[in-house]
Each structure stands twice: as structure tokens, then as C-alpha cells.
Structure 1
Amino acid sequence: MKLDPRCALVLLLAYLIALSTISPGHNLLLLILCSLPMVGLLLAPVRKTELLAQAAYVLPFSFAIAAVALLRGHTAQAIFFLLRSYISILSVLIVTHLLSTLELLRAMEALGAPRFLIVVTEFLIRYLEVMRREADLMRLAALCRGAARSRLIASASLAMLFVRSLERSTAIHNAMLARGFNGRLPRIQPMLWQSRDTVALLLGLVLISGLRWSL
């Protein structure tokens, strides 16, 4: 059963707020809240080992802050901070793997995120793949002409890539304006809020808030 992206995003934000407001020393509360994404990970149809490994990428950055607590002799606080950072990233990864990037952007737009930010991000996601293909074609053409690998050729190719990207983006923008683009991308499949989303949202908010402020 897949929840509405708006429901999933609100629950994620509520969980992250509850997790980030826990102060060191509330170890029982931290462990209980950490168990929620672990249960979701077990039930979700995702690659569990891969997500656990990806969430660990944040640990080197978190350890830089936790090292301050270690130097002061507060080992428990350092472990508390590392665990909270790891679970936060793991929760975000679970949601982003269950929902596509476009679904998350649509949910953000529906919840009041700036439309300009949403439109620019959507175009960026679509256009990065176009730029990658264009760069591969330019690289293949250069190799077929016997070009050697050098910084000069790489810089010239990069400059040409930006020029061709500007030309393509201008042509796309003019084509969109000719088709009546008004700053909002059309949605082929509208999001449908169902009764199960309301139940899931209410139960999730009650559970998260109840755990956070009752323990």
C-alpha cells in the first residue's frame, strides 16, 4: 500500500522534527524513535543492505562534531549524536526510495514550497540526463577524430558543451512559450488523497508526538 506523497512527506518532517529535538540523555526515547524507521525498512520493498550502507556515508561528517564530545569525555553524547544523525539520513533514504523525485517535488509544491524552486528542480533533473548524453556524444566524436586526452581539449569540450546547452535550453523555452507555458508544468496523473492517507497521517502524527512528548 503506497501512501500519498504529501502524507509521506508530512510524516517524514514530523519524525525528523521529533528526532532532532531530543536532547542528550533521553536514551530510551531515542531508541524507541530509532525503531520506527527500522521497522519501516523491514517492511518496505527496498534493498535493505544498500540503504544501510548509504546511510553510513554521513557518519564521517557527523564524527567531526561528535569528536568534540569525545575530547570532553562525553562518550555517551558522541554516540547519541552519531546514532541520531544516522537514523535521520536512513529515514530520508527510505522515503526517497519509496517515492520518485517528481512525486516528492509535487508533494512539496502542494504543501506550499516556492513554485519557482520546484520548476527549476524539475527542469534540472530532466536536463542533466540530456547534458550527459550530449557530453558522451562529444567525447565519442573527439575520440573518433583521434583527439588525445589533455586539459586543453577537455576545457574546450566543456565550453562547447555549455554553448550547446544554452542553445538547446533557449529552443526548449521558446517552444514551451509557444505552447502556452505559464510557469506551471502540467500533471498527467493528479495526486489523489484517499481515506487511508488521512488515517495514516493521523495515526503517524499521534504516534510520533505521543512518543516524543510523553517519554
Structure 2
Amino acid sequence: MTSFSLQHQAFEPNWFAALDPRTRLLAAVFFTLSALCLSALWPLIALLALALLLTILLGCQWRLIIKRLLAFEGFMVLVLLFLPFTVAGKPWFAIAGMEASYQGVIQALVILLRGNAVVLALLALVGSMEPVKLGYALAGLGIPEKLVQLFMMTVRYIGVLFDEHQRLRTAMKARAFVAGSNWHTWRSYGHLLGMLLVRSMERAQRISGAMRCRGFNGKFHLLTPVKWHRRDTAVLTLAVLLFLLPLEWQWWQYGF
């Protein structure tokens, strides 16, 4: 039975693992904002190269990175296929009587480069962070307490629900269930979702009772509050300056 995890493994340098988690989260936010402000191809290529450099320096495992990128690239393929034919502009080429505009192709490439750069940066900066540490970082940044609690509970029990789903699927296979395009298959999947929902509600009630027995009053107490140090300021400043370089290039080269 495979386990479910929201993070990917990485051989992080010691100095990076010792940073305040808010540093990594803020660096990811600044990188995303920089990518959203870019609209020229060469600065976006430079930003993508910077994201690739981050994944190398921070010890990300390329096998897992590529695996998680495949799902994103599936959506990007649709953008590349249809966007050039839906954006008005100077005709570039035609397929089956449909004309693709030069502006549409450029816009599709911009979206492709921007999306891949952001995804790689998020996987490098935040993807290897423990979910609990990410929750502490969100709380330290002043995110509403209810949202942080919801995130922490989701992280804690989404794996439990995934294991429950796997057990139900194993039970179906033990009864010689074979998926197909027929009424029996859809009815079986409906029963699977129904049983998963019922068991989730039962488990939620047991968890709620156990938390009340331990004195839970609706407030999560952080066991190890995050602390900001001078090295965090230095690393975040350096990261922001690096992320601003493609923006400066776009400004001086293209004037926007």
C-alpha cells in the first residue's frame, strides 16, 4: 500500500534547512510576483533558469520533480494547442483552415515559461518543507488562525483518508472487481465514494471527541514558535534582489 505525502524529498543544505520557514515562504511569494510581472520571453527564460538553479542548489530530487511536473505539463499542452488559434493578431501559420496568430503563440510561450518557473520555484522553496512547519510559517505571517487550523487538520488527516481509500480499493479488487465502462462500474465507484464519506464522518466524530477529552477549546497552540534571525533577513534580501534581475532586464531592454 502506497502512502500519501504532500511534500517531496530533498537533500537540503544545512544552512537552508535551518532557515525560518517564513523566509522560504516569502521568497516563494516574491518569486511568483516577479514571474507575474514579466511578459517578455528572454527575461522569463532567465527566470526559469534561476528556478532550475534553485532546484539544483537546494538538493531537489529530479525524479520526483519531473513526476510532479507531468501533471502540470498536461494542462500546458492544452494551452499551447488552442491559445494560438483563439488570440487575434498577425497570422503565422494555418492548420486545417484555422489560422494561428503570432501574438497567440508568443502568449502561449509566455504562459508556459511563467508557469514552469513558478512551479519549479515552489517545489524547490516550499515543496520540501514539512507541512507542519509550513503551518507554523503561515501562523507566523499573521494568516487567520482558523485557516491555519484548517490547513493543519487537512495535512494531518488527508493521508489517513487516502489510506482508507486504498483499503476500500483493495477490498474491491479482492472481490474480483474490474473497472469498465458499464453501469456496474459506476455503481461500484458510487458505493466506494459513499463508504469513504461515511467512514470519514465517523472518524471525524471520534477525533472531535478525543480532542475534547484532551481539553481542546478551539485554539491550536504552537509547540515550537518560529524565530526570525539575521541570516533570514540576509537570505531573503539576496533572494529578492536575484528575483528582481529579470524585471530590471525587461525594464531596460523592452521599456515595460
How many aligned residue pairs are there? 212
Contact 1:52 1:90 in 2 (8 A): no
1:54 aligns with 2:68: yes
CA displacement, residues 16-58 of structure 1 (integer Å, 9 cap, x when unaligned): 11111113xx344323323321211221211125424533533
TM-score (norm 1): 0.80
Unaligned ranges ≥5, structure 2: 1-14, 93-99, 179-183
**In structure 2, how many angstroms separate the alpha carbons of the residues matched to 1:90 and 1:4?**
20
Give identity over the alignment, percent. 25
- The residue that corresponds to 1:14 in the other structure is 30
Contact 1:11 1:204 in 2 (8 A): yes
- The residue that corresponds to 2:128 in the other structure is 98
Q: Which moved more, 1:182-191 or 1:192-201?
A: 182-191
Contact 2:20 2:228 in 1 (8 A): yes
Contact 2:132 2:152 in 1 (8 A): yes
Q: Which moved more, 1:164-173 or 1:134-143?
A: 134-143
- Post-superposition offset of 1:15: 1.2
**In structure 1, how many angstroms separate the alpha carbons of the residues matched to 2:109 and 2:170?**
50
**In structure 1, how many angstroms separate the alpha carbons of the residues matched to 2:205 and 2:125?**
35
- The residue that corresponds to 1:80 in the other structure is 110
- Measured at CA, do residues 165 and 195 of structure 1 come closer, stay the same or move farther in structure 2, by a change above 3 Å? same
- Bigger share in helix: 1
SS of 1:45's partner is coil
Contact 2:25 2:126 in 1 (8 A): no
**Which one of 200, 215, 223 corresponds to residue 180 of structure 1?**
215
- Post-superposition offset of 1:61: 4.5
Backbone CA RMSD of aligned residues: 2.9
Unaligned ranges ≥5, structure 1: none
Question: Where does 1:1-215 land on structure 2 (aligned, <5 Å)?
Answer: 1-2=15-16, 3-23=19-39, 26-52=40-66, 54-56=68-70, 57-58=72-73, 59-63=76-80, 64-65=82-83, 68-69=86-87, 71-74=100-103, 75-138=105-168, 150-151=184-185, 152=187, 154-209=189-244, 211-213=246-248, 215=252
**In structure 2, how many angstroms separate the alpha carbons of the residues matched to 1:97 and 1:46?**
9
SS of 1:113's partner is coil
Q: Which moved more, 1:51-60 or 1:97-106?
A: 51-60
SS of 2:218's partner is coil
Contact 1:37 1:90 in 2 (8 A): yes
